[in-house]
Each structure stands twice: as structure tokens, then as C-alpha cells.
Amino acid sequence: MGQLTIRNLEVSFHTREGIIRAVDGIDLAIGPGEIVGLVGESGSGKSVTCNSVLQLLPCPPAQFGEGKIEWSSKDLLQLDEDKMRRIRGKEISMIFQDPMSCLNPFMTVLDQVAEPLIIHKICKPAEAKRKALEMLAKVGVHRVKEYPNSYPHEFSGGMRQRAMIAMALITQPALLLADEPTTALDVTVQAKVLSILRELCSELGVSVLFVSHDLGLVAELADRVVVMYRGKVVEQNDTASIFTHPKHPYVKALIACRPTLETSDDRLPTVEDFINPGKETEKSPADTSPPKTSSKSAKTLVEAKRLVVEFTTDEGSVRAVNDVSIKIPQGSTHGLVGESGSGKTSLGRSLLNLIRRQSGEILFNGIPVGHKGHPHEKQFRKSMQIIFQDPYASLNPRLTIEQALVEPMIVHNLGSSKRERIKRVIDLLEEVGLGEEHLARYPHEFSGGQRQRICVARALTTEPEFIVCDECVSAMDVSVQAQVLNLLKSLQASRGLTYLFISHDLGVVKFMSDQISVMQKGQIVESGSAENIYNDPQTKYTQQLINSIPAANRSKNFSFTHPSVSPGP
Amino acid sequence: MRKLIISRVLQAVPTLWVIATLTFFMTRYAPGGPFDSERAIPEEIKIKLQSHFGLDRPLFDQYLLYLKNLLQGDLGPSFKYPEWEVSELIATAFPVSLTLGLLSLLIALMVGIPAGMIAALRKNSWVDYLPMSLSMAGICLPTFVLGPLLIYALSTQLGMFPPLGWYGPADWVLPSLTLGLFYAAYIARLTRAGMLETLQQDYVRTARAKGAKSWRILTKHAARGGLLPVVTFLGPAFAGLITGSFVIESIFFIPGLGKFFVTAAFNRDYTMVLGTVLFYASLIILLNLLVDLLQAWLDPKARQEK
């Protein structure tokens, strides 16, 4: 059984822009059989730490400083490639974030799971395959038994990640490094994969370094939590204490700024509030106080009747949206929850008439929205906008912010002169917390949160009444997410906007929405007020969705009753 | 797999028909004819010749007749070499070009792929810079420069191989080397780019995390993905190689197919132009099919889609 001790680890990246200190002198220890959670936002250095242990970082650009990574009385940073290779996959294994790209698409899953045994000459290929089949059955990948020649693309994301776990644990390593292993998965799948991981590691007595951006998720299985911020460890403690008595302001912020199912405030606290208390940081109009118009009295702005959307693929047609009816009152937010493939995005896009519907009717302000090419199409386009999930992909990298924001106004003939349009763009930028100085810049010069603010501003250029927010905060760190959610809420209050808010995150949807619909397999299985859905879920699927959320993300005052993993012998 | 082959063969029929039609009318509308030469032949002989080959009949009738013969596999007689059928000319010249093409391809692959792989593995070191500069030079250097250079070095100076002719295996070396090295340069660059792309993939990092040695990572994990662009390039490249090169044939005095492409067009040898074009088109179709099959074999995802 190994003990991993990281002492004063420093990792810097030497790039053309200068030296970036990704990890700035951290200390970390993982005892035998212990499960340690490593939490931090993107860029905090958590993945770099994890990859440093196995020496998987390309050097250059990565460079190591003074520190040590001690593993069974060896310093891993001093080992040569061949000695290091013997440790990888045998004594220390690793699983990665994206099961789509981390399995070799050209090799059968069975071969890949068996490979560590063959590489480390633990057994003969035939024996290795037999053991791999056993291991795959253990993690619940049964398809391989029936079809030993299946390739990764024939499996779902959850199944691939299970196969990754089987591959990592097949050699019975002493330590498992898990780098965001469930981030790319749906909540229900995430819950299953996590429980498999927990059971298997406790059965084999493997110690785990579990890296995640999600503090609540880490609380599900870690004995101890280490929080990183800008390359440094800001706090480490046992899991319960971190939640009950966080000491560092950043950790307090991390816990506070994620909306749980119990959050009922109108505004989420942000990291800035904790780190620079007393300072007014939100540039956006802070007034979120005016009470929302009761959704009962308001008129219906968007209505869909028996909407059907079909996609034809090689295997036949798939009903992405199957007979869905929905009513969204003016000035309210309708939340749409469901797992990937449930049809939420298709529903959102067909409401905007961005994709063709097979049948059904859409009414906007009581006027039917026709198919593409309809005479009123342009008018509808102007009143309905969309904010996409990935602000990196949804802004044209070759247009400046000014060009990107002026374009919709030109299309819709808004504003009489160039000057007037630019003035409106500046007003909008200020409204979302940016400014005139950003006009001439290109998207790559902004952070993810800023880009999403630009996307919000772009959606507002045509003065729309209705905005579809399609997973618009899913790719963000919790602190940035809080800022964008606050912005959306305050804009709704000041402009009377109507939102369709699509997300897989029940907590976020609950925070944003008045009404919630739960989608599964193209149909709305449950619909009701946000409070009711959460307090009294009617369908099994909704219950399952709620139960799959890590306890800490469900409620701030959760108790640690999860089956904690007992330390190995 | 069988569906792919059948559909491709069926698609080939209209493709070849369109090519035959376009070529037929384009050559006919081009100025001049097969019996125009610098020394004018007497008018009555010309008329006799034209009626012998059916050139005096209406153009559309000629076209229909040509298609009818084509369906029976008859490419017609050559206008310039009256004692030869077009198919006979192709049948004599093609084996020569095929030998030369296969040998060149072998050299191109055996030099290009390892060079590209090593360069990708040791990126930004001398084993990257040296082969890549050489391959750049190889691409820039036309075969009519490389050919004579090789003749001078290996034949005139060292006397290792005959400088020209096509009589025995010793004659094969210099032309295949000239043509092969040119293609090797392309393949090396394609391999390097493809491998660099693949070596950055997450699944290669997974393989490293398993403890695989570099050799295993290269052969088991990266090679398939990295060589896909090379395979795509191979189809048209191979067709070009085995149908002969006019330049190489001229330098080394090789009786290959390449010269017919040029001389037939100059001579307005209508049937010969059509014959060579159709032969080349069929080869391209066939080889692209082979490339697709090869890709499907390499890439399980493509296998499923097809």
C-alpha cells in the first residue's frame, strides 16, 4: 500500500506570453485507502497537480520547481521515463474527464481494458482478456460479453466511463487519480458511475485522489477535501468540517454561490462578495427588487401546441420532441430540465423556428409562427433570441465585439445611423457589466464569463421579448455561473423579459424559474411550479433526477450519512 | 461492405458515360483533326481517310456508334497508328507503367512513412528538421531535375545502374527512385502532420497513463489514426503513378502509358484520347473504392457508417 506525499510542488508553463505558475508550492498527502477530494475552478491547478503525479505533462512547456512527489520512498519527479512507465497503470492509475475522447476509437474496448495487464506483463493476453471481461462485468458493462469486438463509439458516455474505471483498476493499483471523471456525464449517470467507483475502490482498498470543480460532488465520497485557488491550496480539512466551518473566504464563496434546491434569494452571492467584501462589484443594474408580475395574471407570450420534431438518421427517424405543449406567460421564466438526448434543446430551437417541426403549432403573442420563409418571419426573429451553451463557439472569432453586436441591428434595420447603433451597443455592454473599451476587441481576448455576457448583450440588441437560454451556464465555473445568473435575473426584472431556461442542473433551473417542465425521451413528463416540482415530485423520473444530485448540492444543511469508504487494511 | 462495392460500381456507370461524352465532344470541337499535319496531304486522300474512319458521318451518329462499341468493350482503332487497336496500345504500355508505379509507390511508402513518424515523435529536433527540409526540397525539385541528377550520380559517376532503357530489373531502379522520392516527400509531410495530430489526442495520453512504451503507443494507438490522411492521398496518387509519367518516360526512355496521354492529344487521335481518359477514370474510381475499403478497415467508425 502506497502513501503519496506531495511536498512544495511547483509547476510552471513556459509559453511565448511568459511564465505561468500553474501550481505554486502545494503540499498534499494521501494515505493508504484514503479518498481525498481536490477541488478548484478551471485554471486553479488541480488537473496539473494530478497529471504531475504520473508525469504526464509535456515538458516543455511544463517545468517543475524544487518540490517532491514521494511515492513508496521514491521521488517521482526524479525517476527516468522507463522507471516511471512501470509505475503508470500498475501502481498508480488514472481516469480522465472525457470518456468520448479518452478511449482509443480504433481499438476494441475489451483490448483496451486488458491492455494494462499485457503492458505490465502481469498475465498472458488470453488470460488478460478473461480478466478484462470479469472486470467489465463488475462495473456493469455487459455488452462486451455479448459483442467482444465492440468499439468505444458503440457505447454511451456513462458506459465508456465505466470501461475507463475497469481499465484503471484492472491491475489493482494502490492509488487512483480521477480527474473530473463524471463532469461530462448526466446527473443520473454520474450518480451511478460514482457509486461504482466508490464500491470498487473500497473493495480493492485503492486510495483515490478525486479531482473536481464541484465541491458538492466531492463531498459524496471524499474523506478529506483539499481546495485549490490560483495554484495554491487555500484550505484542507475533513469533508464535514469544510462544509460546516469553512475558513477561507474563497471556500465560503464556493459553497454559497452555487444555487441549491433550497436557494430562494433573488441574487446569488459571488466569489467577489467574499474575497473583497464591502466592494460594489456588480456593474449591472443591481435592482432586482421589483416584485415579479404574478404569472397567473400575465398573458401568455409563447405557446406551443402538440409540437413534434423529428430527425432522420441512417437508422430511421427519431422523435426528438414528441407531442409537447407548453405555455410561457410574459415576464416569467420557464425552466426545462432533462438529461442529454431528452429533447430540451430541440424543443427550444423549434420554439424559435430554428429547426423544422413535423407538426404542431407555435403561437407568439397569439399570432401563429409559420415555417421558414413565412412573411412575418423576420418580425418573430427580432422578438425571439437565443443564448447558447458554449460562448467560445457561439461568437465568430473573426468579428470584433462591435461587429458582432451591430450585425443584428443591421439585419433588422434598427437604429438610423452607425453612430446610433454603436451607442446602443455601448449601452448594452454597460448593462451586462462590460464597457466601451471592449468594442474593438476580439472574442479570444475575453474570459468565458465575459464572453457569455457578450452573448447576452448580443441577444438583447434586437430588443427581444423572449430569450431561450440553452444550457447557457453549463460550461462555467460556479463563481462565474453565479454572476451570469444574477445578470439574467436583473435583466428580466428591468426589461420584463421572458425566458425559456434549459439546463440539466436542477438547482440552477430551480433558482431561475417560476415554472418547470421535466423532459424525458422527447416528452414533458412533469410540469408545475418550481417549488412543487422539488418538494413533491410526481413522477419516478423526477425523483430520480433529484436524488441523483449530490446531497451537498441539494441543500446547504445536509448531513453526512453517505456510506463513507472505510480505509483499507 | 458489399453494399458499398455494389453502389460504387453502379455509380461508376453514369460517371464514365459523362466523362466519355464530354471528352468525345471536346476533342471533336477542338480545332484541327487527326489528319492535319505540317505537310498537307492531298485532299482526296484525306477525304478517303476520313470516310474510312467514319469521320464524314454526322457527329451525333459517330457518338452513338462510339458508345455502342464502347459497351462491347471496343475502344476502336488508333488514328495515328492505324495497325493498332487502342486497347492493344494500352495493353502493351500499361504493364510497364504498372511496374514502375508499384515500385515507386513502394519506395515512397517505405521512405515517407518512417520519416514522417520519426519526425512527429521527435518534433522540433534534428530528426524532425532534417527529413522535413529534405522533403520540402523533394517537393520543390521537379522530377526532370531530380532524374538527371540521379543519372549523373548513380549512373555516370558510380556506374551502378544503366542510365536509360527498360530491358531488365537494373533499369527499373533509377526511374522508380526518381518518381518514388518525389511522392515520398509528400507522404512524409502528410504522415508527420497526421501523427502529430493523433499524438495529441486524449487517448494517447490514456495509453501513456497505462504505462505503454513509446513503441507500443506509436504502433498500437497512434498509427491507425495518424495514417488516415496518407490513405486518402494514396488513391489519386497511386492512379497517377501507375498510369505513367510523361516526364519520367521521356528522361529514361521508357515505353509506358504516360506518353500516350500527351501525344494522343497533340495528334487529335480521337479514339486514343478517349481510350486513355476512360482507362484513367476507371482506375481512379477503382482505386478510390479501394481507399474507402482500406479506410473502413482502419477506422471502425467509418466501417459502421458505410
**Rounded Cα gap, residues A459 and A368, in angstroms:** 22
Mean pLDDT of A408-428: 88
Look at chain B and report how many structural domains it folds into. 1
User: Taking Cα atoms as reference points, which of A506, A456, A461 lies closest to residue A483?
Assistant: A456
List of residues 6+ apart from B37 with CB closer than 8 A: none
B230 within some domain: yes
- On whether both A50 and A191 belong to a single domain, the answer is yes
Residues 173-202 of B with CB under 8 A from A: 201-202
Same domain, A419 and A532: yes
pLDDT of residue A48 exceeding 60, the answer is: yes
CATH of the domain at A544: 3.40.50.300
Residue A10 is assigned to a structural domain of this protein: no
Asked if A235 and A346 sit in the same domain, the reply is: no
Q: Is residue B61 part of a domain?
A: no
Q: Could you tell me if A386 and A531 lie in one domain? A: yes
What is the structure's pLDDT at A297? 56
B213 touches chain A (CB under 8 A): yes
Q: What pLDDT, on a 0 to 100 scale, did the predictor assign at position A371?
A: 63
Q: Where are the alpha helices (DSSP H) in B141-243?
A: 143-150, 169-199, 202-209, 214-216, 223-242
In a domain, A181, yes or no: yes
What does the DSSP assignment read for A286-321? ----SPPPPTTTSPEEEEEEEEEEEEEETTEEEEEE
Q: Is residue A263 part of a domain?
A: no
**Is 50 exceeded by the pLDDT of residue A444?**
yes
**Minimal Cβ distance to A88: which of B209, B301, B304:** B209
Inter-chain residue contact A107 with B221, CB threshold 8 Å: yes
How buried is residue A567: exposed, middle or buried, by Cβ count under 10 Å (0-12/13-18/19+)?
middle
Q: Is residue A342 part of a domain?
A: yes
Give B298's contacts in chain A (Cβ within 8 Å). Answer: 106
Do residues A250 and A388 both lie within one domain?
Answer: no
Residue where a domain stops, chosen among A241, A256, A271: A256
For A323-369, the pLDDT digits (tens) are 999 999 999 999 999 888 888 889 999 998 888 888 888 888 888 88
The stretch B19-38 carries a mean pLDDT of 82
CA distance A15 to chain B (A): 16
Residues in chain B: 306
Amino acid (1-letter code) at residue A470: D
HSE-CB of B219 using CA atoms within 13 angstroms: 4
State the Cα torsion A486-A492-A495-A500 to the nearest 10°: 130
Distance (Å) from the C-alpha of residue B106 to the closest C-alpha of chain A?
A: 25
Q: For residue A421, what is its C-alpha cell?
A: 447603433
* A560 has a pLDDT exceeding 70: no
Say whether pLDDT at A467 is over 90: yes
Q: For the ranges A184-188, A216-220, B126-130, which has the lowest average pLDDT?
A: A184-188
Query: pLDDT tens-digit profile of A99-155?
Result: 788 999 889 999 999 999 999 988 898 999 999 999 998 888 888 888 888 888 888
Q: Does residue A12 form part of some domain?
A: no
Interface of B with A in 15-74 (CB under 8 A): none
Q: How many domains does chain A have?
A: 2
Q: Which of B203, B211, B301 is closest, CB to CB, to A101?
A: B203
Band (B291; pLDDT cuts 50, 70, 90): confident
Q: What is the pLDDT of residues A63-95, one digit of tens each?
A: 888 888 888 888 888 888 888 899 998 899 999
Domain containing residue A509: 330-355+369-554
- What is the pLDDT confidence band of residue A209, given thresholds at 50, 70 and 90? very high
What is residue B264's predicted lDDT score, i.e. its pLDDT? 84
CB contact under 8 A, A116 and B210: yes
Q: Are A100 and A153 in contact (CB under 8 A)?
A: no
Note whether residue B199 is domain-resident: yes
Q: Which residues of B touch A107 (CB under 8 A)?
A: 220-221
Q: What is the mean pLDDT of chain A?
A: 84
- Chain B residue numbers touching A119 (CB-CB < 8 A): 210-213, 216
Asked if residues B33 and B303 have their Cβ atoms less than 8 Å apart, the reply is no
From chain A, the residues in CB contact with B224 under 8 A are 106
Are both A200 and A334 inside the same structural domain?
no
pLDDT-wise least confident of A253-257, A513-517, B225-229? A253-257
Pair A414, A497 in one domain: yes
Listed range (A44-53, A439-448, B51-60) with the worst mean pLDDT: B51-60
Q: Is the pLDDT confidence value at B154 over 90?
A: no
Q: Which of A221, A256, A291 represents a domain boundary (last residue)? A: A256
Residue B106 has pLDDT above 90, yes or no: yes
Asked, for residue A321, whether it belongs to a domain, the answer is no
A242 & A347 share domain: no
Q: How many CB pairs under 8 A join A and B?
A: 72
Query: Residue B200 pairs with which residues in a beta bridge?
Result: none
- Please give the average per-residue pLDDT across B139-157, as a whole number: 85
Q: What is the mean pLDDT of residues B262-274?
A: 84
Share of chain B above pLDDT 90, in %: 13
> In which domain, by residue range, is B249 found?
93-305
Does residue A388 form part of some domain? yes
A83, A90, A102, A104: which to substitute to probe chain B, counting the most B Cβ within 10 Å? A104
| Residue-level pLDDT at A16 | 79
Q: Is the pLDDT of residue A412 over 60?
A: yes
A56–B203: do the CB atoms touch at under 8 Å? Answer: no
Q: pLDDT at position B203, please?
A: 92
Contact B96, B257 (CB under 8 A): yes
Out of A256, A279, A298, a domain closes at: A256
Chain B residue at shortest CA distance from A95 = B206
The radius of gyration of chain B from alpha carbons, rounded to an integer in Å, stands at: 24
What strands, in cross-sheet order, belong to the sheet with A333-337? A384-387, A466-470, A498-503, A333-337, A515-520, A523-529
Residue A176's pLDDT is 92
Within 8 A of A90 by CB-CB distance, chain B residues are: 211
Q: Is B122 on the interface with A (CB under 8 A)?
A: no
Please give the average per-residue pLDDT across B247-274, as a whole number.
Answer: 84
CA distances B92 to B86, B98, B102, B247, B257, Å, are: 10, 11, 17, 19, 9
Of A23-32, A459-468, A556-565, B75-84, the range with the lowest mean pLDDT is A556-565
Cα-Cα-Cα-Cα dihedral sign, residues B89, B94, B96, B100: positive
CATH number at residue B118: 1.10.3720.10
pLDDT, residue A210, reads: 92
Distances from the Cα of A304 to the Cαs of A321, A367, A376, A527, B272, in angstroms? Answer: 12, 11, 17, 14, 67
Domain contains A281: no
Q: Which residues of B touch A154 (CB under 8 A)?
A: 304
Do A244 and A345 reside in the same domain of the chain? no
Among residues B221, B188, B212, B192, which one has the least CA distance to residue B124? B192
Distance from CA of B228 to the nearest CA of A (A): 11
Residues A231, A349, single domain; the answer is: no
